[in-house]
Structure 1
Amino acid sequence: MNIQQLEYLIAVDKYKHFGKAAQACFITQPTLSAMIQKFEDELDVKVFDRTTHPIRTTDVGLQIIDQAKVIIESVNELKNKANLLNNILGGTINLGIIPTVSSFILPTEIFSFLEQNPKIKMNVKEMTTDNLIKALKAGELDAGIISTPYETAGEFYRDFLFNEELMVYSSDTTDAEKKNSFVIPEEINTEKVWLLEEGNCLRNQFENICHLKENRLKPKNLEFTAANIHTLVYMIDKVGGISVLPELALNQLSGDQKKKVFRFKKPYPFREISIIYYKPTFKQKIIDELSEFIRNSLANTLNYNENPKDFVNIKP
């Protein structure tokens, strides 16, 4: 029995398919199948029922898989501890990020951080805040990046990352209130508002800025909620309307799209982004270094840093 076999077991249990599990583990299917068969023969157990499609994990197998995950986590902790003792920034970290943040820092700050720290392996998942917190409590994640303060996140450690302004993205660029390039929340036509899906903190923040009504722009026989900001931008470009946009999203807009972005009237609304974690671990050095890297990278690029007195925090 070896660590690789345990990783193969977990992969097959996850994908319910030997071929897909082999691809995820970067080995051939015959090799993976042979390693798992060897494991089953050694322990005289049947982990998977191969007669079903998709493959089913047996009752005994479920218990084996649970123990395998504990062992893998312990091995990773041991590696992280060794790296820490050797003053090497390395190891594996499981990170959750809310979708309205991941799109804008994953291909930039986080990619750059990993390029500078090749000994770190990072598993990133996009998750709503509530699901992210559940995963942290279950030990499935080591840390999460969310909008704070958040009511149910009080038991976690929290490190501030950055503050970013919340802005308006609108297809109507001729309204009188926009002559000075700012929008008064009370004058927004809320019947034209496009929102993200329930459970998204950016939706809650927009609702806290404006009182919302049913969107009259969508067909009466259409029920639609967006899961990401890019979909909202596309809908507004095609059929009109208005939505809220975090400042970092501007970096991914075209020149024409940037002309549709307007600031709210002072005090400008902003959201606070932090990294939270359940307890300090041997992965703490990775969390600390990642936090510092993101803070330094965005320190001079966001509007909030020019004059914080002009802003007000909109809680999720």
Structure 2
Amino acid sequence: MTITQLHYVLAVAEHKNFTKAAQKVFVTQPTLSMQIQKLEEELEVTIFDRTKKPIQLTEVGEKIVQQARNIVNESDRIQDIVDQQKGFIGGIFRLGVIPTIMPTLLPMFIGSFIKKYPKVKLKIEELHTEAILEKLKEGHLDAAIAATPLEVEGIKENVLYYEPFVPYIPQGMQMETSDKITVEDLDINKILLLEDGHCFKDGIINLCKASRDYGDDQLQLESGSFETLIKLANEGLGMTLLPYLHTLDLKESEKENLKMFQDPIPAREVSLIYNRSELKMQIIEALRSTIAGVVKGAITFQNVKIISPLNKKKEFTTN
């Protein structure tokens, strides 16, 4: 049994196709098939059911793949130990970022990170939380930036910052309140939301402690971008909530539509998440320190109430 054979098994398990798996690991399809067959003969089991289309794992194959993933991760740790011993911060690093964080946070830190760590080759993907967790589990991402807490077994969460929810209320819908509003002032049925799959939408629903009740609404609309929500709000079609960093780039005329919550301010927790195997920790720590350095000056709120993206609707208060 070799590490190379286990890499081949993991590739076939992922792609469910020998040809695509061979392309992924840069060998010919006959070579990959022969090595997997040799492993099956050595173990005296069948890992893949080749009679099914696409190829499926057998019952014992499922267990073998799970253990193979652990072994490959641990073998990668050897090089990781050597890199850390040498103080080397470099190599390919695959980072996932959720869509509601990518456009605001990435420009804030990416330039300084690349300049400070020129040997790190970042590969960044914009992914929803569900896809991020799946790719972390399968080893296709080294880390990710997402809204937490997620409470997923095997995933560690390192908090980067707390980002307030900021109501965007056009002039025609302004409430007769003081400069700051409360959660009770919001009507979930008048809030324009992001489409399903965005954890920011889940956070808003949890914040309002309600499920959307469309009833007989004339307009039922959800969008994939904050820009669209802002334009619709400007047309008098509702109000919305924005993450604080997104409000920094608004036009001055649009900033007049912003309101702040009373303390404790509802906020989302943003964390750097990674597999418990803690591979490439030197790069993860470099990312954490770089992001913390640039965000510290942008977000200075202290008394916040953390709104969880989980369906459990947990809340946490920090001072």
Could you tell me the TM-score, scaled by structure 1's length? 0.68
For 1:72, the equivalent position in structure 2 comes to 72
Q: CA separation of 1:217/1:262 partners in 2, compared to 1, >3 Å: closer, same or farther?
A: farther
Question: Any unmatched runs of 5+ in structure 1?
Answer: none
The 3-state SS of whatever aligns with 1:100 is coil
Q: CA separation of 1:49/1:138 partners in 2, compared to 1, >3 Å: closer, same or farther?
A: closer
Aligned length: 301
Please state if 1:164 is matched with 2:163.
Answer: yes
For residue 82 of structure 1, what is the amino acid of its counterpart?
V
Tell me how far 1:168 sits from its aligned partner: 1.9
How far apart in 2 are the matches of 1:283 and 1:20? 27
For residue 119 of structure 2, what is the amino acid of its counterpart?
P
Alignment of 1:1-316 (within 5 A): 3-22=3-22, 24-25=24-25, 27=26, 31-43=27-39, 45=41, 47-59=47-59, 61-90=61-90, 99-102=99-102, 104-106=104-106, 109=109, 113=113, 116-119=117-120, 126-128=127-129, 132=133, 145-147=145-147, 150=149, 152=151, 159-170=158-169, 172-177=170-175, 185-196=183-194, 197=196, 200=199, 203-205=202-204, 207-208=206-207, 214-215=213-214, 240-250=237-247, 255=251, 258=254, 261-267=257-263, 268-275=265-272, 281=278, 283-302=280-299, 305=300, 308=301, 311-316=303-308
How far apart in 1 are the matches of 2:118 and 2:227? 30
How far apart in 1 are the matches of 2:51 and 2:112? 45
CA contact (8 A) 1:177 1:184 kept: no
Q: CA separation of 1:203/1:283 partners in 2, compared to 1, >3 Å: closer, same or farther?
A: same
Which one has a larger percent helix, Structure 1 or Structure 2? 1
Q: CA RMSD in A?
A: 4.8
How far apart in 1 are the matches of 2:139 and 2:167? 37
For residue 32 of structure 2, what is the amino acid of its counterpart?
I
For residue 162 of structure 1, what is the amino acid of its counterpart?
Y
Q: CA separation of 1:238/1:141 partners in 2, compared to 1, >3 Å: closer, same or farther?
A: same
How far apart in 1 are the matches of 2:112 and 2:8? 30
The 3-state SS of whatever aligns with 1:35 is helix
Question: Any unmatched runs of 5+ in structure 2?
Answer: 309-319
How far apart in 1 are the matches of 2:188 and 2:77? 50
Tell me how far 1:201 sits from its aligned partner: 5.9
Could you tell me the TM-score, scaled by structure 2's length? 0.67
How far apart in 2 are the matches of 1:153 and 1:68? 21
Q: Sequence identity, in percent?
A: 26
Q: CA separation of 1:39/1:22 partners in 2, compared to 1, >3 Å: closer, same or farther?
A: closer
